[in-house]
Amino acid sequence: MSEDGGQAEGTGSAGRIGSRDAPRWLRPAIFYVLLAVAAYQMSGWLFHNLRGFLGLLFLAWLFSITIEPVVDWMASRGVRRGAATGLVLFALFVAAIGFLALFGTLLAQQLAQLLKALPGALSSVTEWSNRVLDTDFATGDDLIHLTPDTIRDLAQRFTPGVLGVLSSLLGVVFQMLTLLLFVFYMSAQGPTLRRTISSWFPARQQRVISTVWEISVEKTGGYMVSRLILAAVSAVSTGVFLVLIGVPYWLPLALWTGVVSQFVPTLGTYLAIALPAIIAAAAQPMDGVWVVAFGTVYQQVENYILHPRITSRTVSIHPAVAFGSVIVGASLFGAVGALISVPVVAAIQALVETYGRRYELVADEAQAGEARADERRPEVTSVEQREHARDEKGRDPEDQ
C-alpha cells in the first residue's frame, strides 16, 4: 500500500511540475496557430471556388468607373443618377447593336476567311523568307498541320452537342446580365456606397477613404477611357490604310490592331502589326513592308502627339510593371484578370504617389553642395587675374 501510494504521489507531483513548467502563452499560441492555418486553408478554398465571380466583380467595377464621368456629368445637369446610368448603358447597347448591324456580316465573313487563309499566309511568308533571306524555317505542312481532315476531327472533338451549346449560351447570357446588374448598381449607388463604407470609420479615416475613392475613380477610369479612345483611333487609322493599299480582311485586322496595341502592354505594339503585315505580305511582299512602315510611323505619332494629349490626366505606368501585372492578373483570374490588372495597378500607383514621400539622395545633395561651393569660389586662370587678385589682397591666393 505504501509503495503504491508513493508511486501515485510521485506521478501526481511530476504532473504538477510539468504543468508548472509549461508557459502560459503556449496553449493560446497553439490555438492561434491552428486557427491561422484553418483560416488560410478556408481562404484558399474560397478563392479557388469564387475566382470566376471575383473576376466578374472586378470587371463590373472597372466598367462602372469607366462610365462614371459621363454619369456624374448627367447627374450634375439634374438627371437622377439611376436614370443617368440606365441611359448610358442603353446608349452603349444601341451603339453595339448599330456596329453589328453595319459591320456584323462583313466582320463574320472576313473573320472566317482570315482563319481559313492564315495557314497559307504563314507558309507563303516563310517560303519567301527562305528564298530571299536564305533562312531555314519550316514550311507547308511542317509549319502548321491543318488539313480538312484534322479540322473536321478537331471540330468533332471540341464542338459540343445541342445541349452543350444551349447551356453555354445560357451561361454567357447569365454572366452578361450579372455583369450589367453589378455595373448598374456600382455606378448608380456609387456615392451611397461610399458614404455607407465611410460611416463605419472615424472622421479622419473618412477623409482618407474619400480621397482613395476619388483617386481610384479618376485615375483608373481615365486610364480606361484613354485606352479605349486610342484603340478606336488606331483601329480606324489601320483600317483606312489597309483599305487604301488593298489588303484583304481589313476589318478584323483593324480591330485586332486597335485592341492588342492598347491593352497588351510592352509586346502589344509588335503583336498588333505583325498579323496585318503577314496577311499583306502573303499576297504581295511589298505590301507587308508598307504595313510595317505604317505601323512604325503611326506608333511615333501616337507616342509624341496623341498619347500625351489624351492621357495627360491619367497615370503613366512603366512597361515592365504593366507587363508583370498582366502576367499576375492572368495567373489569378484568367483573361479577366489580364484585362483589369493594369487599371488596378494604375490606381495603386496613384495612391502611392499621393500618400508616399520622396527624399533627395545623399549623393545628389553632396554633389549639389560641391557645385554651389564651386560657383562661390573665384576661378583664377590667367596671369592678369592672378596679379589683380594679388594687388587686391596683397598676397597670392595659392599661398592661402
Which residue, 29, 95, 41, is CA-closest to 67?
95
Half-sphere exposure of 203 (CA within 13 A, CB side): 0
pTM strictly above 0.75:
no
CA 261 to CA 326: how far, in whole Å? 14
Residue 135's identity, in one-letter code, is T
What is the predicted pLDDT for the residue at 379? 52
Residue 293 to residues 264, 273, 336: CA-CA distances in angstroms?
Answer: 21, 10, 33
CA 306 to CA 38: how far, in whole Å? 52
What is the predicted pLDDT for the residue at 50? 83
What is the predicted pLDDT for the residue at 400? 46
Residue 146, SS3 per DSSP:
coil
Give residue 314's region: left, alpha or beta (phi > 0; psi -120 to 50).
Answer: beta
What is the predicted pLDDT for the residue at 1? 47
Q: How many CB atoms lie within 10 A of CB 146?
A: 15
Residue 189 to residues 149, 186, 202, 262: CA-CA distances in angstroms?
Answer: 55, 6, 22, 30
CA 117 to CA 125: how far, in whole Å? 12
What is the predicted pLDDT for the residue at 124? 76
What is the predicted pLDDT for the residue at 268? 78
What is the predicted pLDDT for the residue at 244? 93
List the pLDDT tens digit at each of the 400 positions of the chain: 445 555 545 555 544 544 556 678 888 888 899 999 999 899 888 888 888 888 888 888 888 888 888 888 888 888 899 899 999 999 999 988 988 888 888 888 888 888 787 777 777 777 777 777 767 666 555 555 555 566 556 555 555 555 566 777 787 788 888 888 999 988 888 888 888 888 888 887 888 888 777 777 777 777 778 888 889 999 999 999 999 999 888 999 999 999 888 887 767 788 888 889 988 888 888 888 899 999 999 988 888 888 777 766 666 677 777 778 878 877 777 776 777 777 778 777 777 777 777 777 666 555 666 666 665 655 545 545 555 555 555 554 444 4
